[in-house]
Amino acid sequence: MSARHKLAGAALVFAAGVLLAACSDTLPQSSLNPAGERAEQVDSLFRLVFWIAVGVFVLVEGALVYALIRFRQRRADDPNPVQVHGNTRLEIIWTIIPALLLLGIAIPTIRTTFDLSEHPTGEGVVAVIVTASQWWWEVEYPDLGVVTANEIHVPVGSPVTVELHSKDVIHSFWVPRLAGKQDVVPGRTISLDFVAAAPGVFPGQCAEYCGLSHANMRFIVVAEEPEDFDQWVADQRAPAVAAPPGTENAEGEELFRSVGCVACHTVAGLEGAQGILGPDLTHFGGRTTFAGSTFEINVANLTRWLRNPLAMKPGSRMPSYNLTDDQIEALIAYLMSLE
Ligand code: CUA
């Protein structure tokens, strides 16, 4: 084997490995591992179409490979194989079979599509309004009086309807393990629903290219037992607790106002903090992630963020304020106290 062939072989094995790695059903984002009824419906439709496609692929490619081998020219003086022009019976067969296959795919597809567009209503349905903007998600529970960002808490076993809006461009809401993908189009109200069958944290992301930080537009769905969800709602409804005077938190609270954070962010209960351009931070310390759910909330990440947001999230509207290390420390202490 020449060095060139070995290299090509190694490249092929590597590429196949990378491709096949995407087929794992244990990855957090894998839609092959549904965690609720809606995702299961999408999954079973996918599997049906997939196996039909595999059958077609094997048959067609098998016939092609067979013809290549059976009718190849072995010697220079081999005659051409018999040439055939038209075969009515064959042509009827290979028209009817694909038509039946398409029908077999169309019926369950249309049924699932219509079924998914029917949203549950009435008692026990948790209504959530999700508003997408470059590059984060606002999450509002209109019936519960809760507003948060990038983290959607839901009770296990209850149907959740998500009403989707966009403030700027087309985004796409996608939690692979819970529901199908849904484009979010400015000027239109589009809904989707799902049920989480068991507690867990389900990663989601924007699935429509929407600009510089499209890849940093993620979110999580936190499915929890109904009593935990009720507790979360109660915590979220409470206004932020004012920082005790004389503490580092109070210094941070003052900076939050004086530096200008309040122009874009709301902290319910803090006078003057009613900005709506950025995420509501009333219970920021109770979340696990920030900046479009891209970074874990911890002192190191928040320090980097407040020093230079654009270095972490290109295109972010969050400005850099040239804060001193002490100011950053105080702001972080305050933000993390907002539980
Ligand atoms: Cu929003 Cu991609």
Q: Is the CB of 210 under 6 A from ligand 1?
A: yes
Q: Is the CB of 208 under 6 A from ligand 1?
A: yes
Helix (H) or strand (E) holding 171: strand 171-174
Going from the Cα of 137 to the center of ligand 1, the distance in angstroms, rounded, reads 10
Predicted structure pTM score:
0.85
Q: Is the CB of 171 under 6 A from ligand 1?
A: yes
Q: Is the CB of 214 under 6 A from ligand 1?
A: yes
Q: Is the CB of 330 under 6 A from ligand 1?
A: no
SS3 246: coil
Closest atom of ligand 1 relative to the 135 alpha carbon? 1
Give CA–CA dist 258/274, Å, rounded: 14
For CA atoms 318, 321, 322, 323, the dihedral sign is: negative
Give CA–CA dist 143/294, Å, rounded: 28
Q: Is the CB of 265 under 6 A from ligand 1?
A: no
Q: Is 166 exposed, middle or buried (0-12, 13-18, 19+ CB in 10 A)?
A: buried
Q: Is the CB of 139 under 6 A from ligand 1?
A: no
Name the residue with the closest Cα to ligand 1, atom 1: 171
Give CA–CA dist 149/133, Å, rounded: 11
Going from the Cα of 21 to the center of ligand 1, the distance in angstroms, rounded, reads 24
pLDDT in tens for each of the 339 residues of the chain? 688 899 999 999 999 988 888 777 667 667 678 899 999 999 999 999 999 999 999 999 999 999 999 988 888 888 888 888 899 999 999 999 999 999 999 999 999 999 999 999 888 999 999 999 999 999 999 999 999 999 999 999 999 999 999 999 999 999 999 998 999 999 999 999 999 999 999 999 999 999 999 999 999 999 999 999 999 999 999 888 888 888 888 899 999 989 889 999 999 988 888 898 999 999 999 999 999 999 999 999 999 999 999 999 999 999 888 899 999 999 999 999 998
